[in-house]
Amino acid sequence: MVSQRYQRLSTIVTTNRIFSEWQEVFPSATSIVAVIDRLCHNAEVLTIDAESYRNKETVERNTTRRAARRSRRKS
């Protein structure tokens, strides 16, 4: 997909892994280098250093559930 879109169409990729961890996703070093090379050529790489929205939502949901369980135990 990346090769087909390369220099023809815009591509947005989001990930929670840095480039050096991509070997866990892609099967060979050759494919990793090729994909990163094509994605980064003429690209703007943004790094967002913020709390994960999904993690924050999960923590809030678990806190609400625990409070509900405690109130049911008291009644």
DSSP 1-12: -HHHHTTTS---
Whether the pLDDT of residue 21 is over 80: the answer is: yes
Question: Which structural domain range is residue 37 located in?
Answer: 2-74
Give residues with Cβ within 8 angstroms of 25, minimum separation 6. Answer: 17
- Nearest of 45, 48, 26, 44 to residue 35 by alpha carbon: 26
| Residue 34 buriedness (CB in 10 A; 0-12 / 13-18 / 19+) | middle
Number of domains in the chain: 1
Please tell me the total number of residues recorded for the chain in this structure. Answer: 75
* pLDDT of 14: 81
* pLDDT of 54: 87
Whether the pLDDT of residue 16 is over 90: the answer is: no
Query: Which tens digits make up the pLDDT trace of 44-72?
Result: 888 888 888 888 899 999 999 999 998 88
* pLDDT of 46: 80
Mean pLDDT over residues 14-20, rounded?
A: 81
